[in-house]
Amino acid sequence: MSTITIPSRKLNNGLSIPGIALGGFGGFTDEDLLKAKDWFITGIQAGYRCIDTAQIYGTEKVLGEAIRESGIPREEIMILTKLAWHRGGDVQQAFEESLQKLGVDYVDIYLLHFPQSVIYEDGREPTADSILKNFKVVDKPDFNEMWADIEKIYESGKARAIGVSNFSVKTLEALAQTAKITPAINQVEMSPYLAQNDLVEYCEKKGILLMAYSPSGTDKVRSDPTIGALAKKYNTAPNQVTMAWHVTRGVVPVPKSTNPSRQKDNITLPVLSPEDMNTLNAMDRNERIINNPGPDGVLFGWTREQYGWI
């Protein structure tokens, strides 16, 4: 099998990042979060040099520990973390808390995690298992205001690049009305079932690098007969086919695996033929699997129209 040489991707501010990142969502229990340190370490040992976490993931502390215990110098590992959606009113303090938990004095990439702003109804900081409970969306601060505060962090030098997550063409256009700095990155759900071609074209035009979370599309996509046939053809696992599809499209996939063998597989990718890329492209059905609005068309307090998903 011919394998892809994983490329570096240059951001719009000149910073280069690895073409695949390790996902850092740890789970919803304290036990799961503590286990994350072990698979962060095996991921670093496997060769990942960009690791994705977030304030609401609860894995910043163990990621910092894993980096220090890995034997790899911190400056060789790119740390990406994200502003929690309920901390838009105190962005600077939230960012400093992330630095403290990570045990670093700067991050490489800092993202606005969601376009909406929320508050928790009990007024307390949510725990890992309550992040998605007992909150309501509020109008202020809006994402334009939160982005202005993130721009200040970039200007301070404590974040080498800044970007957004879960933004559409619609919300990126709205952000551009007030932004002084164009986001370097937009991290979104993307898989062969959700190719987001319009967003890919828009971000390429604007110089915004796309990163894909849940890039395999979960078991639903991995078990698709088309993926299975290509995995058999290339003598790989289904995940390796989908990761190769992302990389060939110019997207940075962010696979999360706790298994050392699969971590290595996810950065050992086949060179897909143009015909097989066309086959994978044809699988698009605009289907969200991870963050999919319910029957009422609402997800996390926003409609599809508010997200710009229609």
Enter the tokens of residue 146: 């939160």
Active-site residue, from 48, 57, 154, 234: 57
Q: Is 57 a catalytic residue?
A: yes
Q: Find, among 182, 181, 180, the residue nearest to 203 by Cα.
A: 182
Q: How many angstroms separate the CA atoms of 301 and 293, rounded?
A: 10
Kindly give the pairing relationship between strand 107-112 and strand 78-83. Answer: parallel
**CA 303 vs CA 116, 123, 232: distances in Å:** 11, 25, 40
Q: How many angstroms separate the CA atoms of 258 and 94, rounded?
A: 28
Q: Please give the positions annotated as active site.
A: 57
